[in-house]
Amino acid sequence: GENVEQHPSTLSVQEGDSAVIKCTYSDSASNYFPWYKQELGKRPQLIIDIRSNVGEKKDQRIAVTLNKTAKHFSLHITETQPEDSAVYFCAAKKTGAGSYQLTFGKGTKLSVIP
């Protein structure tokens, strides 16, 4: 089955700096890569996703890049703010028969220091 590796497990940045979280996946058939943010005591929520026909996607201060050849994708947060502090999970999924579930990375705890 699919295996998703996520690095780093913890990340501390100064407010205003950029943060980058990287994930690799094993199944070349995976074609959907969402990122979830989980604030302390809250449920994970989708913040951005990318499909395999796209190399990069941006939404304000958040961007995700995908390299299908290398089977890795990354989350980039620019101009970090204290409210960006959370645990971030990457995930991978493929479509087709029998493909219903996301496979998640182990998460990155991001701390933004004011």
- Other C-beta atoms closer than 10 Å to the C-beta of 46 total 10
Q: Does residue 9 belong to the site contacting other proteins (CB under 8 A)?
A: yes
Question: Which residues within the stretch 51-80 sit at the binding site for other proteins (CB under 8 A)?
Answer: 51
Q: Edge-to-edge, what's the strand order for the sheet holding 62-67?
A: 4-7, 19-25, 72-77, 62-67, 56-59
Half-sphere exposure of 56 (CA within 13 A, CB side): 4
Q: Does residue 34 belong to the site contacting other proteins (CB under 8 A)?
A: yes
Nearer to other proteins, 53 or 69 (CB): 53
State the DSSP code for 19.
Answer: E
Q: Does residue 31 belong to the site contacting other proteins (CB under 8 A)?
A: yes
Binding site for other proteins (CB under 8 A): 1, 6, 9, 31-32, 34, 42-46, 49, 51, 89, 93, 95-96, 99-107
